[in-house]
Amino acid sequence: MSENIKSLEADIEKLELKIAADASAKATALARMQARIFLEKMFSPYIDGVCSVLGETPHDGLRRLIKEGTTFGSIAQDNPQALAQFLSQPEVKVILAIASPLRSVSEEWIKDKMDILFEVMLDIRPELASIINDTPGGKEWFYDSLTGLREILFF
């Protein structure tokens, strides 16, 4: 009887570990999907627009922004009219509604998911991901810009 109980307890422990692993995998998949929506529909077009205004290609503009330490949050604060125009576009409103779960994530969540966010960036814009990775301070800039952009878009 004692052996049966030990065996059942071991089976329960294995099931609990499997359930935890499955929950973690689902959370990661959800985080990747949300990150993809955010990066494809918000971050990428925003960087293209900012670089266009700067009169530079996204590659050169991104490198310049990183080197200067100019984040999306600081750009938006310095250009409230352009931000208001951007946010008033119907397609932006739809994207914000789709990505609304990101409204409630904390800066800590973004920090914890930076690897996922960067992997998704590598998938959708490998040339920009390379610049972020290879430019000194690029990853910190990416984090600061993501948190700043989230603040701008959702608050």
Residue boundaries of the structural domains of the chain: 31-154
Please state, in angstroms and rounded to a whole number, the distance separating the CA atoms of residues 4 and 61: 66
Confidence band for 11, pLDDT divided at 50, 70 and 90 = confident
Does pLDDT of 151 surpass 80?
no
Looking at residue 68, its pLDDT comes to 92
**AA letter at 132:** I
- Summarize pLDDT for 79-137 with one digit per residue, the tens: 888 778 877 888 777 777 777 776 777 777 777 778 888 888 899 999 999 999 999 99
Residue range 14-24: average pLDDT?
79
Q: Could you read off the pLDDT of 42-83 as tens digits, one per residue? A: 778 878 888 888 899 998 999 999 999 998 788 888 888 877
Q: Token pair 């920090």 is at which residue?
A: 111
